[in-house]
Amino acid sequence: MPYTHEWKPEELHRAITAAGVALWAWNVDSDSFTMDELGFELWGLPPGNKVTFEQLSARIHPADRDRVRAAFTATRAILGPYETDFRIMIGDEVRWVAARGQGEDVGIVGRTMFGIFLDVTGRKQAEEGHELLAGEMSHRVKNLLAIASGLTAISSRSAASIEDMARELTGRLSALGRAHDLVRPLPKGQGDAALLGDLISVLLAPYDDLGAFKGRIRVAVERMGVGETSATGLALVIHELATNSMKYGALSAATGTLDVSSLAEGEDVILTWLERGGPPVQAPENAHGFGSKLVQRSVTGQLGGAIDYRWAEDGLIVTLRVSRSRLAS
């Protein structure tokens, strides 16, 4: 025979309290509620014998008040168990409450219906967090697909061959992927995506192994956050500069070096790209190719900044000026 335990009232009370279950009784004629101590605590009310529905309604979130009243009124016509979730406000704090009971007058005694209240704030916050994350991921995926589509269309018009298009497009998409791998929450005041130094270092890491020695690429920038939008634009700019350096600049030489540094000037951040040790450089004849247009568009559009090139005899110097607030967005 299965073992059955005869629960004593005090044992049931301890079990209910441990589960965080608040008990209520609703007199359908007088519209008054009786709750246990946990119920009054949940609603932020001083313990008492009874409370009216109107007193409870004053603490229900205005957006849920009419719905809750209608739900309780409708319970008498509902067959079987029911549950309704709603928000209550205790000062500035918002709590989520689940009310459960039996409908269609099931179990009614002396014109009184019985049920429970549960504090489901934690569950609701988790659900809202999941919905927010899903929406954010959807937004990012759509942005990346739009960027990938644009890159594909423009690359197809500028590439000399299918092989060149595939190679260049793969490189640009990989740079975007590396940038978005870094997107994560940062401490308050440092931005919403990645640290500037981390972002640049990760984007340039593949080029550091393509020389005579490790460490020929040095990144020394201030500790600050880069927002998701700016991270995408900055990734494209860094990738284009690094690709051109591998083709024509310092990174094309085994002993060439690259230094990326930053300087604060008022509300602006100035990034300096300094190449040394490569072949003699000169301004390109075609300064309006796809790569140049992409960089210009990313700097002025996504970053809201300005970029300047100086073709010095001993190496290229690129200066990128961006507002601090724009970089963190």
In the chain the domains, ranked by start, together with CATH numbers, are 9-119 (3.30.450.20), 125-327 (3.30.565.10)
Q: How far apart are CA 259 and CA 315, in angstroms?
A: 11
- Are 236 and 262 in contact, with CB atoms under 8 Å apart? no
| C-alpha closest to that of 156 among 214, 235, 295, 148 | 148
| Angle ∠(173,239,181) on CA atoms, nearest 5 | 55
DSSP states along 259-287: EEEEEEETTEEEEEEEEESSS-----S-T
- The predicted structure's pLDDT at residue 139: 55
- 3 state DSSP class of 322: strand
Q: Give residue for tokens 């990034």.
A: 271
From the first residue on, what is the mean pLDDT of each consecutive set of 10 residues in the chain (329 residues)?
65 73 81 84 84 85 87 68 85 87 60 82 80 61 60 64 77 66 51 76 75 81 85 82 83 88 92 92 67 76 86 89 87
Token couple for 35: 């709750």
Q: How far apart are CA 170 and CA 164, in angstroms?
A: 10
User: What amino acid is encoded at 91 in this protein?
Assistant: G
Query: Residue 105 half-sphere exposure, CB side, CA atoms within 13 Å?
Result: 5
Instruction: Please give the DSSP secondary-structure letter assigned to residue 299.
Output: I
- The predicted structure's pLDDT at residue 288: 57
Helix (H) or strand (E) holding 134, with range, is helix 121-158
- The predicted structure's pLDDT at residue 211: 61
Q: How far apart are CA 27 and CA 30, in angstroms?
A: 6
